[in-house]
Amino acid sequence: MSEAVDNVVRFESTDESSWLTPMRCRLLLAGFVILSFGLNLVYLQHCPIDLAGDEAQYWDWSRHLDWSYYSKGPAIAYIIRASCAMFGDTAAAVRYPAVALTSGTTIVTYLFTRKLFGSDRLALGASLLLNALPIFVVGGFYMTIDAPMFFCWALATYFAAIAIFDDRQWSWVFVGFLIGLGFLAKYSELLWFIGLFGFLLTQRPRQLRGAAIALLIAVLCTFPVIVWNVQHGWVSLRHVARQTGASEGVFSLWDMVVFIGGQLAVVGPTMWIMMIAAIVYALRSRADEQNSNHSQLAFLLWIGLPFLALNFLDSFRAKVQLNWPAPAYFTLTILTAYFLGTRWRDYQQWKPNRGWFWITIAVAVIFTPIARDTSIIYPLLRPVAAFTKRDLGELDLLQRVRGWHQLGRNVSDQLLEMGPGTFILCDDYQQTAEMAFYVDGHLKTYCAGPYFGKRWSQYDMWQDRRLDAQSPLLSMNAIYIGKGDRLPPAVEASFERVEKQPSLDIEVAGAKIRSFKTWRCFGFKGMQRSNEPADY
């Protein structure tokens, strides 16, 4: 019998939920995965929100498959292209992989938890608890780099547990390959090794050799990204350094406060309370010889806590996005499930606090439909908007993913009126990607932002998108999608004349959510910019 199973016979035999046999737990998991997978597919077929800017950008990348891209590795583009090749270039097809990867992560959570603790009941609880996190709920249908990165992180951790606790050296090969594959989706995947080596140095030094082999395999997987960056002046390195504050970062206490508040929101306040209690419990278990699972708990801590701590420290120098720490919650959620299981079973004083758990589940049940369509809470938001004297759209957290298909329809009609030879010019890379997806014919679109100080993007890497004096677009007409009521001076100066068009107001459930601004521009003269970008 493996070490993990040896350690948890006591857990199974004393669990008060005796009706949850291993077979019933597996059937419940299968039912949950099938149900959630099916509901997500139905939702995507009747989705009330459009692709997010990043989703549209990754789709546009997938039309130009390459070794790597400006800000990310190539994995996301290849995954989306595979899905669209099978199901067509539709918003649902872009998002299908996210649904599949989320279901896969749920299954891996079950297998990994059972591997560590030998308990199907605990594995079922951990899987359901992970699906209660708001950040996981949202990630269940948005196809961003986080879905493949999280899945690879989880599966690599599972194979690492096989290598460590079952002493299966072959498993290190899969660990290295999965982390390398995750790196091709999101560069921070390599930070997983910090937790692994921390655990092995303190708990299992004899297994460092296997971990080193895994690291070598993962590093070899970075080859496509390195080759591409050598050819493009290491723009990815510069971009990541700028985004993380490694270059030009400035100490900011406020960004740290925002980071903490954001994590409370995406994990849930009650879940955070239970998670902190679980972390403290695990730290104390190191000195508890009666806890035969102390090594497993240490493993969960080491894989999750250093990554979360790194994001916290980074928040002092840069604006850390809400999703950046997400992989840390994989093992920390399992740790929380273990804590709830043992405390719930063994201590009478925990019984009055079971409400924290049920509140967490209730929040997830309530949050899930809202995350998919916030218009269902407009009746609650309208009094708030009136009291604060703000537009309802400003309170809609899904505002940024609404109205793009209407704008695409509007621009398509304008293109027909202006005639052949008219191109689409946008203010930033997300607008550029959205128009590439939603305008009829999935046309090639162009990004003007970096020519007047906005950050660069993949559009600046493609030579056929240049807007300078060598651009093939000279003397042509354009439709410009901008922000604000006036054209940027650099854009206005690049055309012979411009005509502002009526605003396109987007309404949802009778409420104005946002307004798009377009201009018809005639006689493109080209744009100028410095050799170096203002912002990577």
pLDDT digits (tens, 9 = 90+) for 58-104: 999 999 999 999 999 999 999 999 999 999 999 999 999 999 999 99
pLDDT in tens, 382-415: 888 888 888 888 888 899 999 999 999 999 999 9
DSSP 388-421: HT--HHHH-TTGGGSSHHHHHHHHHHHHHHH-TT
What Å distances lie between residue 517 and 232, 480, 485, 500, CA to CA? 34, 8, 7, 8
% of the chain surpassing 70 pLDDT = 90
Instruction: Give the pLDDT score at 364.
Output: 79
* 3-state secondary structure (DSSP) of residue 66: coil
Residue 195, class by beta-carbon neighbours within 10 Å (0-12 exposed, 13-18 middle, 19+ buried)?
buried
Compute the average pLDDT of residues 181-194.
97
Selection from 133, 474, 177 nearest residue 271 by Cα: 133
Distance CA 395, CA 155 (A): 37
Contacting residues for 215 by C-beta, under 8 A, at least 6 apart: 176, 193
Distance CA 112, CA 126 (A): 10
pLDDT in tens, 457-468: 999 999 999 999
Distance CA 423, CA 418 (A): 10
Distance CA 300, CA 247 (A): 32
**What are the contacts of 271-275 at 24+ separation with CB within 8 A?**
271/132, 271/133, 271/336, 271/360, 273/356, 274/336, 274/339, 274/340, 274/356, 274/357, 274/360, 275/332, 275/333, 275/335, 275/336
Instruction: Give the pLDDT score at 6.
Output: 44
Distance CA 402, CA 508 (A): 9
Instruction: Give the pLDDT score at 37.
Output: 95
Whether the per-residue pLDDT at 247 is higher than 80: the answer is no
Compute the average pLDDT of residues 493-498.
95
- Neighbouring CB atoms inside 10 A of 34's CB total 11
- How far is CA 406 from its chain centroid? 26
DSSP 93-131: HHHHHHHHHHHHHHHHHHHHHHHHH--HHHHHHHHHHHT
Instruction: Give the pLDDT score at 391.
Output: 83
| Residues linked to residue 524 through DSSP beta bridges, in sequence order | 495
- Alpha helices (H) in 439-492, listed in sequence order: 489-492
Whether the per-residue pLDDT at 351 is higher than 90: the answer is no
Distance CA 7, CA 4 (A): 5
In one-letter notation, the amino acid at residue 260 is I
Instruction: Give the pLDDT score at 1.
Output: 38
Instruction: Give the pLDDT score at 153.
Output: 98
Tokens 């921070």 — which residue? 188
Q: Provide the token pair at 518.
A: 């377009």
Compute the average pLDDT of residues 268-278.
89
pLDDT in tens, 126-153: 999 999 999 998 888 899 999 999 999 9
In one-letter notation, the amino acid at residue 290 is Q
Selection from 275, 276, 299 nearest residue 286 by Cα: 299
- Neighbouring CB atoms inside 10 A of 108's CB total 23
Give the 3-state DSSP-derived string for 325-394, with helices as H, strands as E and coil as C. CCCHHHHHHHHHHHHHHHHHHHCHHHHHHHHHHHHHHHHHHHHHHHHHCHHHHHHHHHHHHHHHCCCHHH
> Average per-residue pLDDT in the chain?
89
Residue with the bigger pLDDT between 350 and 20: it is 20
pLDDT-derived band at 7 (thresholds 50, 70, 90) equals very low
Least confident of 192-206, 284-298, 340-354: 340-354
Residue 487, class by beta-carbon neighbours within 10 Å (0-12 exposed, 13-18 middle, 19+ buried)?
buried
Contact in structure between 356 and 270 (CB atoms under 8 Å): yes
